[in-house]
Structure 1
């Protein structure tokens, strides 16, 4: 019998290999995440559960009710992405495509000069420009493996990382942008900008730098996991000391043990 971790890992690996879309909004794993996902999943004590390589987005805030009070923020009612991409090649030019209706949602985001900022208050629904960095969730077999992965991520600068319940490690880093660039005009339900095209160009340059920094940190993390976790595990196996079974070795051993029990029971019943 496989334990719960092995069963979960088999199920996740089957989903990764499946040609069908996954449950994420994008429907598939980001290409940039595939190398580190394959590396981590090669370890018998770890399996990836979700990931994002980093993305740019333009988001309209929604509203939500809490204790009979309406508040602005997050998705909520009416909140939605106006634009999103995981590809840094789509950074420059997103603004032109958005205001000229070249995206699927055909959103009209008009340029408007705001002279009086007193029109904005706690109920204003802002259009937010965001860059969100790489994030990875990894389920570990036990606390020892989880601690090893967590410490490895922290040593690479992923200071937002943490260990949750059931030895689930969240690997995160604080390379992000989150700034308001526009608002929803409730009077006619239109979207207006309060920043200039020059400012948008500045955001584009900053975002490209964020993408570059993010890719470097992902590569650093990959190399550190490979050297400090994966290769150490291989060295332990090759030296024959404190042998740690691989995922496949454990599966084969359990199958052989089951067949041996069946054989003995059959002999006893003869």
Structure 2
């Protein structure tokens, strides 16, 4: 526990977010402050969600960091913004909506489970927990309502302005939903932290303590898999929101 506190102190002393932007996004600044005000959590990276036009000839996962941003916003956008960005493209261009993402290092497994439950109930269905062999506990808040559409190839725009207008409307609706989910996450977290009465000495589950929890989750997943091959009854669940708990080799 002391090691986590020391690491968190060093991490927060650095101040800036380790991203291309170099600082946290304003729409989630209060949420990150709320998390970091707790002794149980420390945020490591985040993005409030964004709409962007990504340029460059190679946009594979390994090369995206080197691709130019022709246009980017953390709010809704207009058709004119995208069209202006396309005019800067000399090669390929992809219009993307990337939802809210947040990575939090947790002091103990219970804290990670709490954040996972809040994330799932807020609509971030792709959230999960990883536990490293050295005991590092990470909670990732993720969603699946992404959007990625190529608009330009080798300098030639592939679609009409009418289609771009439609695409922007779809992306803006996704951004609105993203903001609603963030607000739900923030509200639930605030409510729980306000009402919680944590013990002075945390139970401090480590990797060894978490093994029982992992085994129970796997057994539950196996039972649900068996039920999927049986006729559904009113009492059968669909397994949505199950905790993703993996062992990270790091």
Q: Is the structural similarity TM-score above 0.5?
A: yes
1:125-144 correspondence to structure 2 within 5 Å? 127-144=93-110
Q: Is the 8 A contact 1:160 1:174 kept in 2?
A: yes
Residue of structure 1 aligned with 2:138, choices 162, 168, 172: 168
* Structure 1 unmatched runs, 5+: 64-71, 101-106, 110-124, 185-190, 246-270
1:222-233 correspondence to structure 2 within 5 Å? 222-228=186-192, 230-233=193-196
Question: Which digits, 9 at most, give the CA deviation of each residue in 1:78-129, with x for residues without a partner?
Answer: 96134242332544422332244xxxxxx245xxxxxxxxxxxxxxx85321
Q: Is the 8 A contact 2:116 2:141 kept in 1?
A: yes
Partners in 2 of 1:3 and 1:155 — Cα distance?
31
TM-score normalised according to structure 2 size:
0.71
Residue of structure 2 aligned with 1:95, choices 61, 74, 82: 82
Partners in 1 of 2:109 and 2:160 — Cα distance?
50
Partners in 2 of 1:22 and 1:225 — Cα distance?
21
User: Counterpart in 2 of 1:45?
Assistant: 40
TM-score normalised according to structure 1 size:
0.66
Q: Is the 8 A contact 1:129 1:181 kept in 2?
A: yes
Residue of structure 1 aligned with 2:184, choices 220, 235, 250: 220
Partners in 2 of 1:162 and 1:88 — Cα distance?
26
2:70 is paired with a residue whose SS is strand
1:5 is paired with a residue whose SS is helix
Question: Which digits, 9 at most, give the CA deviation of each residue in 1:57-82, with x for residues without a partner?
Answer: 1224644xxxxxxxx73353996134
1:174 is paired with a residue whose SS is coil
Cα distance change on mapping 1:91 and 1:50 into 2, 3 Å: farther
Cα distance change on mapping 1:22 and 1:51 into 2, 3 Å: closer
1:56-205 correspondence to structure 2 within 5 Å? 56-60=51-55, 62-63=57-58, 73-76=60-63, 80-88=67-75, 90-100=77-87, 107-108=88-89, 127-165=93-131, 166-184=136-154, 191-205=155-169
| Match status 1:32 vs 2:27 | yes
User: Counterpart in 2 of 1:112?
Assistant: none
Q: Is the 8 A contact 1:61 1:74 kept in 2?
A: no
Cα distance change on mapping 1:197 and 1:219 into 2, 3 Å: same
Shift of 1:161: 0.4
User: Counterpart in 2 of 1:263?
Assistant: none
